[in-house]
Structure 1
Amino acid sequence: MPSSSTLLSSRLTRLMTAVILVVSISVVEGFYHLLSENRLAQENAASAQSLSTLRTKIESQANSAIYLVQGLVAFFRAYPDINIDQVEPILKNVYQDGKNVRSLAVAPDLIIRMVYPRVGNESILGLDFRDLTLQWPYVKKAIDLKDTVLDGPVNLVQGGKGLINRVPIFRENGQLWGMVSVVLDIESLLKAADIDQYTSLFNLHLYNPSKPGGGDIFGSANDIAANASEAIRLPLYLHNEGWILEGVPIDNHIMPWWMLALRAVGWLMSLLLALMYFILMREHRRNRILANFDELTGLPNRRAFYRQVEFLLRRLIPSKSALSKTQAAHAVMPKSEAYFGVVYLDLNGFKAINDTYGHEAGDEVLVTIAQRLSTLSSRHERFFRLGGDEFVGVLRFDGTMSDEAMTLACERIGAAVKAPIDLTSGTQVALSTAMGYTLIQVSDDIDQLLSRADQQMYQHKQQAVSDGHL
């Protein structure tokens, strides 16, 4: 049967297989992680660039309305005393040329006197900006800055929501003349900025943070909240107001099929590598077992016997090169060494069992004998099958070896072999064994040991024939 070193080798093989599998998979996962991180970085950069393009479009659409009214502002500055009713054709032209413009209002002394188109906006005529609590801060901001201010989103007096570009007009002497307001349609402005092309790529939220309640212009905070940590945030600077454009890429973490396939191939290669190692080591271990153990009985074979004795000879006997022939012949082994002897066994009557009951019965007898010898094996005794019905034992002794110790060992072995054997066919057989033993000598090599034991075994067998025991 396999030795403890063989079992240890089996455990190490399984351990190394697991290590190879873990290391291989770790390499695959590390490589996959690097690819994922690189792809994610590229996609984030592309997403940021895409969102930046949308920002530019929104800013462009919001600014375009201001350029339209610059001429109107210059006209009122040049003709501050013009009859307001004469302004309607000018407002009509500006309105028709403007994009995303919902209405235009002119407010001399901050009171709305003219609006175009009038239809649907009649309710704002005569309104004083100073009376509009929510709008007045932005009107005042434009006056203080003497510059355009974009107010929005605004709940309009005439209904609905819009963005209001408020442009203050000052006389030549610096006194405030009034204000021109351009109401922009939010939906039209965002559509002109092609926002619909981006809604399939991002969850979007455009808002004015300075407005009470969040000032949502497009989308809402709830559209971003679930993945707020992944949101890309870009500021928009629109006529002295700051907006925020947020976007969370949709399906940004879905890996392309080729990366998933590469990962699967890596796992498969890792499994195959570990499996190949396990199979190779198992076959190597199996070949070692077959090379050193008898296939039928499980006992160590002739090769293992030679290796065992050679090891003991190197360990227990002084180097022959240090001894002359005369010294070697008369050398006395030191008593502190562990000595050993060899017992040679040949089964008596085995051929008759083979001939009478068949080779299967013979194999069964050999297996039973091997099992009995195995039960006798210990740290100091080990048995081997040389072939056929021949066995050999290596017996080690602590202290001084003697013929008496070898004789006692042979009696134990003989008793174990002689016990009746019950075959599976129901037949009971019994056989004895011829044994010969020898003790180690300083000048011995393995062939000399085996030869002396074999000669003594042969003498034992001849004696048994002479006595009529066979």
Structure 2
Amino acid sequence: MATALTKRNKAAIGLGILALIGFGIYAEESFVRLFRERAIDLEREQAHQAIALARARLEAEMLRNTYLSDSLASFITMDPELSENRWKTVAEKLFEKSTTLRSVGIAPGDVISQIYPIEGNEKALGLDFRTVPEQMRSIQRARESEDVYIAGPVQLVQGGDALIARFPIFRDFPYNQNYWGSVSVVMGFQSIVEASGLAAIEGASVALRRADIESGEPVLIYGDESVFAAPDIELPVNTPSDVWQLAARYHDSDTPGLRGAVAFIRGIALAVTALIITSILLLFRAYRLSRNAALIDELTHIPNRRFVMAHLHRLISGGSRPAHFTLLLIDLNRFKEVNDNLGHEAGDALLVHVSRHLQQAVRTADIVARLGGDEFIVILHRVSEKPQAEAIVEKIRAHMHSSTLFWHGEKIQPSVSIGYALCYGQDTSVKELLARADEMMYRSKRERLEVISSWR
């Protein structure tokens, strides 16, 4: 009987050990599975952030080159018959400010007469665009729209693929009836893609397409067409002349780094599993807190003046659907006193503090940007009623009033003056909106100063 009990006990102990081992294996595999899922989510979040940032850089690079080239087009409009020496001087200045430009040429009568740099572009000199239908279509589009048109990517006669900004030149600006020719600014397509970071995206396949100049059908210009069949991410890319489509699809297979991490986790004792989970969660939390670090304004990490002005122009003049939004212009009160009394580092800290709390006071779909100095701008999408706008303004004021900044033992209480302007579609201009908001903002500032004077 004792032997039987012993055997049963041993069997029970063995089963218990097997159950414990099984539970340990199950718990460990469950943790590994959870770790893998979280790691994949993290990689996809990182890829999503990298793609969004690359999209912003792609827009910014094309917009920057277009702005630079527009000044050249304006110069040629005033002096179409400029000499070769003057042409070289002007073109050199343009190339000093951009690293993605390949060449720039002028074409009176749509025949290239001047090109810079001449080295490597000799084949393009004297080219009659009327003999190259693909390029002539983009020139005709720019001429008909009387504005810049971004063509491409196209195969250049001098070799390579490029985007080409076509600027029509008229002798009778602003009537634009006497067509003189065009300015063509060639931007290296691969250089722009690399500068944006699209080519370095990890964890996802990325593709770009745009509308065909004739049919309007989408045409692939970068990446694999299959990405558009089942994309995980779709984003618009706003160029100075039209809107492209960006799509991305996450990679299905595990990366080598992830496989190594899973193998490492399997070798860790169950006693330290909780520590590993805590470490991963802390790392994930740290990533989430820092994922917005790469924005445009160097100090506040929010969009800057050029970005928001371009966005306003697109809202007002782009597309067939009228834009309805409210523009807020915000100025810090007593900012000079903070700089004078506490130093410029305190002033910088206050600007960062205000930018962060402005973002907290509005919706994530709204845009908060820094115009420069101590001025900020906020675009409230789909807000076009005065009571709603005023309620948001009061909410921002109250939020700022309750957000004290402590700086080396000093308490800095932010105070803002806010003006706003409502936009009901395409019946206004950016200049007019800013003027209306600016007038209201300074009226608010004057009223505040009058109140302070009356207290004294």
TM normalised by structure 1 equals: 0.44
TM normalised by structure 2 equals: 0.45
Whose Rg is larger?
A: 1
Which one scores higher on RCO, CA 8 angstroms, separation ≥ 6?
1
